[in-house]
Amino acid sequence: MNGTLFTERRSVGSFDASQSLDREKLKAIVDLAGNAPSAFNLEPWRIIAVGSEEGKERLFERANRQPKIKEAPYDLIIVGDREGYGPQNPAWEELKSLAGEEGAKRSIGAAARLYGSSEERKIKFAESNGGLLAMSLMYAAQAYGVDSHPMSGIDFEGIAEEFGLKEGEHVVMVIALGYRDTSTALRPRRKRKDYETLVEEV
Ligand SMILES: Cc1cc2nc3c(=O)[nH]c(=O)nc-3n(C[C@H](O)[C@H](O)[C@H](O)COP(=O)(O)O)c2cc1C
C-alpha cells in the first residue's frame, strides 16, 4: 500500500508566483478529480477557475486578502448547487437510459425528499458533495505533482456576488493550485486524531 498521496499533500501556505500551471495540466487534474462520488451521481457542482490577474485581484479582495490567491497560478472556486437534486439535472436523463423511465422517476422523487425537504438539507447536499469534489481535486493535483491550499476564510457571499453565481448556487470553498514557494519552509504537519480518539466502534 502506498499512502504517500495522503501524507505528502499539504496546505502549502505560499506559492511560487513565477511558476505557471499549464492549462492542460489543470484540465487533467479536474478530469481526474471528476471521478469523485456524488449522491445519485448528480455532480451538483461546478468550478470557476480564476487564472487572470484581474480575476485574482477581485477574488483576493473577497478572500480576506490571503496572499496565496495572487501567488497561485489558479484559484478554483468550488461552487455547490443546492438545487442540484431537482428534475432539471441532466444526470437524470442518463439514469433513464440505465434504469428506465419509472426507475428514474422513483429516484427523482427520493432525491427530492432526501435533499430538498428543508433549506438545511439543501445546504448539506451542496456542501457534502462539493466538499468531496474539493478533496478529490487536491489529491488529483498531488498525483500530478501540483500543490494546493484550501480556503474557507473567505467572504462566501461576496465571492458569489462578484462572480455571478446563480440562484441556488453557493461557494463551498476556494482552492489555490500551483507550485509551492520552496524558499519558505512548510509548517510542521499537525498531529491528527488516532484511531482510538476518532472511532467509536458499535
Ligand atoms: C475547509 C478548509 C478551509 C481552510 N481555510 C483556510 C484558510 O482560509 N486559510 C488558510 O491559510 N488555511 C486554510 N485551511 C488550511 C488548514 O489550516 C490546513 O488544511 C490544516 O491546518 C492542516 O494542514 P495540511 O492541509 O497541511 O495537512 C483550510 C482547510 C480546510 C480543509
DSSP labels for 17-40?
TT----HHHHHHHHHHHTT---GG
Output the CA 153–ligand 1 centroid distance in Å.
9
Q: What is the pLDDT of residues 35-82, one digit of tens each?
A: 999 999 999 999 999 999 999 999 999 999 999 999 999 999 999 999
Q: Which residue, judged by its Cα, is nearest atom 27 of ligand 1? A: 10
152 lines ligand 1 (CB under 6 A): yes
> What Å distances lie between residue 21 and 17, 129, 178, 202, CA to CA?
10, 26, 6, 46
* pTM exceeds 0.85: yes
Q: State which fold the 38-181 domain adopts.
A: NADH Oxidase (3.40.109)
Q: Which residue, judged by its Cα, is nearest atom 1 of ligand 1? A: 152
What residues of the chain score a pLDDT lower than 70? none
Residues written for the chain: 202
